[in-house]
Structure formats: structure tokens, C-alpha cells
């Protein structure tokens, strides 16, 4: 398959190496020193003591890469405008686009199954409808990533979750399709786990349950997820936050369960805190504002999450990293 990883940072570069070594024709849209290093010597993935390298075509200009079978966007929500403006040269009539990101996606209300409660107005996730204009419904595939990675040098990424690297995918209307089966098989063959997903939005909420509470708490305290979990001062706060998050998700999917992992919480900073410390635009809308909108639509009282949301927005805005 011809596969383009659009926005190949740490996670996208990891996937690019594995897919290329699995025999696919992989290209990447990336920029900066990472791009220069990849063009000069390829991509390197470190997993524990092992090291894997792959040559992939990389460019800042999608027009140089040609039409693709699949585009996998690993951009953060704050960077999706570049996808909307740069996508056209990558498309054939049947090119699918996987939106693999944190939080509530811009396309959430498109193809919504009849048994799902009406969602709130999520227009703020797609400013000026740029993505709706650039991406037709038939191209949309939802994606949820479970994989921890870090760019340790230009052209080099390190995987921090060797036993847990997953990209779960599904059509926006939850139907089964040949292209989902084909892409899922390609991912599994490349050692990127991709088990069947009956309802992609339920998977989105399953991951978001933790992100919308714990990631924001990490942002406000400056601590890692493990430190927050183990902080005696937050012993009673964490379960109350998670209970409020559960209530929002259950208004859409009564049986949804939080994504869990064995052992202690990861001893690293979530991306929301990393972005804040590095001065990068923050995913406040998809992780904070959108879940709050669902709570209001369902008539739920979530005072602790509301307080965290207000503090997170203020903290990000004060540093110039968020603008409504």
C-alpha cells in the first residue's frame, strides 16, 4: 500500500518505520530538523535495546509525494489546518484518511449512528469548516492511538511502550468495510496492534476518560501521571474527577470503560503538559471544552471538571498557547 503519515512526529515516525519495514511504500509529511535528518539518513526507531531503520520519502510539501492509498494523520488537533490546506495532492478518488488524535475529533457528528444521543455543537473544533470543506464523509476513518513515543534526536524516535502499540480504527458510521479490514491487516502485520472496534466513538471516549481528567491535573500540578496518582494530597481528588468523567461518557455509551493498563501509572508527562512546557499550541478544545459541551448537553453537573477546565484554559491563555 502507498501510505502517507501526515505530521510525522514521534508517534507518526514510529508507525512509518514499522509500516515501511513491513513492505509498504511509506512517505511522510514533516518539517524542521526532523525532516532534514530523515532526508539525509532515514528514520530510526529505538525499542529497548533494539534499533530499526527505514528509508522513507519525506517532505514538507505534500505536492512532492503524489497520490496515496491511505493518509494517516498523526497531527495534533491544533495542527489539522495544515492537513486541510495540504491534502489535495495526496488524494485519489478512493483515498481514505485516518484521523488519529487525542480527544473529541472534528468529525464526531458525521455519520453518527441513530442510537447515539445528539451531540452538542462542536463547530469550534473545525474553524470556518476548513476540514469539512477539504474532507468528504466517505474518506473519514476514525483512529485512536495507544503508544508512547519520544523524539530523542532529529530522525530518531524512541518507543516507551514496547508491549502496547496500538492504532484502533473504524468507519465514521461504524459499518464494516473492506478498506478497514485491509488497513487493519497491514497494521497488525507491521506490529502495530489493531483489533476490531465495533464502535469507534466508544473507543475515543474510553481513552478520553483519563485524558480529560488526569492530563489536565498533570498540567495544573506540573507532575507526571504517576506522581499525580501517588500524591497523598490528591488521594480523594482523582477518583472524584474520574467519576465525573465517567458520567459524561456514559451519557453517550452506558457501558464504556476507561482504558486501563497493568502496573503503576506511566512515569511521564502527558502531551498536554509537554506542550505547555515547550510553548506549543495546546489541545484544550478537544480534551477540555468538547467534553464540557457534552456534559452540558446531557444536563450533567461536573463541578470539579468545570473548575479544572477553567484553570487549564486560563493557564494556557496566559502563556499565549490557547485562543478560543
Positions annotated as catalytic residues are 207
Nearest partner of 195 among 164, 149, 158, 173, judged by Cα: 164
Q: Residue 266 — φ and ψ, nearest 5°?
A: -60, 140
CA pseudo-torsion sign 99, 103, 108, 114:
positive
**Cell of residue 179, nine digits:** 478498506
Local structure of 102: helix, strand or coil: coil
Length of the chain: 324
CA distance 45 to 51: 6
**Cell of residue 218, nine digits:** 498533570
**Cell of residue 226, nine digits:** 504517576
CA distance 22 to 317: 43
Within 10 angstroms of residue 321's Cβ, the number of other Cβ atoms is 17
Within 10 angstroms of residue 318's Cβ, the number of other Cβ atoms is 9
b/e per residue 174-205 (b: at least 16 CB within 10 A):
beeeeebeebbebbeebebbbeebebbbbbbb
Q: Residue 65 — φ and ψ, nearest 5°?
A: -100, -25
Local structure of 270: helix, strand or coil: coil
CA distance 291 to 288: 6
Q: What share of the chain is helix, strand, coil (3-state, %, to 5)?
A: 45, 15, 40
Amino acid at each position: 500500500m502507498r501510505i502517507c503519515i501526515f505530521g510525522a512526529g514521534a508517534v507518526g515516525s514510529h508507525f512509518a518505520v514499522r509500516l515501511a519495514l513491513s513492505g509498504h511504500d511509506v512517505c511522510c509529511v514533516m518539517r524542521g530538523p526532523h525532516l532534514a535528518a530523515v532526508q539525509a539518513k532515514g528514520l530510526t526507531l529505538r525499542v529497548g535495546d533494539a534499533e530499526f531503520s527505514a528509508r522513507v520519502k519525506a517532505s514538507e510539501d505534500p505536492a512532492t509525494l503524489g497520490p496515496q492509498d491511505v493518509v494517516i494523520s498523526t497531527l495534533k488537533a491544533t495542527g489539522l489546518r495544515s492537513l486541510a490546506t495540504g491534502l489535495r495532492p495526496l488524494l485519489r478518488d478512493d483515498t481514505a484518511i485516518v484521523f488519529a488524535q487525542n480527544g473529541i475529533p472534528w468529525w464526531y457528528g458525521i455519520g453518527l449512528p441513530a442510537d447515539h444521543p445528539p451531540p452538542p455543537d462542536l463547530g469550534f473544533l473545525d474553524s470556518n469548516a476548513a476540514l469539512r470543506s477539504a474532507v468528504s464523509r466517505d474518506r473519514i476513518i476514525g483512529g485512536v492511538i495507544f503508544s508512547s513515543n519520544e523524539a530523542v534526536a532529529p530522525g530518531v524516535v524512541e518507543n516507551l511502550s514496547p508491549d502496547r502499540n496500538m492504532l484502533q480504527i473504524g468507519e465514521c458510521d461504524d459499518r464494516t468495510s473492506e478498506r478497514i479490514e485491509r488497513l487493519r491487516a497491514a497494521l497488525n502485520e507491521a506490529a502495530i496492534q489493531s483489533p476490531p472496534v465495533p464502535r469507534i466513538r466508544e473507543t475515543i471516549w474510553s481513552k478520553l476518560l483519563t485524558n480529560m481528567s488526569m492530563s489536565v491535573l498533570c498540567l495544573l500540578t506540573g507532575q507526571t501521571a504517576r506522581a499525580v496518582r501517588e500524591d497523598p494530597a490528591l488521594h480523594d481528588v482523582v477518583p472524584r474527577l474520574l467519576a465525573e468523567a465517567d458520567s459524561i461518557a456514559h451519557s453517550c455509551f452506558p457501558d464504556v470503560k476507561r482504558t486501563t493498563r497493568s502496573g503503576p501509572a506511566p512515569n511521564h508527562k502527558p502531551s498536554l503538559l509537554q506542550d505547555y512546557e515547550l510553548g506549543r499550541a495546546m489541545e484544550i478544545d478537544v480534551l477540555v471544552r468538547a467534553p464540557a459541551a457534552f456534559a452540558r448537553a446531557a444536563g450533567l453537573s461536573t463541578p470539579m471538571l468545570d473548575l479544572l477546565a477553567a484553570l487549564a484554559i486560563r493557564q494556557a491563555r496566559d502563556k499565549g498557547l490557547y485562543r478560543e
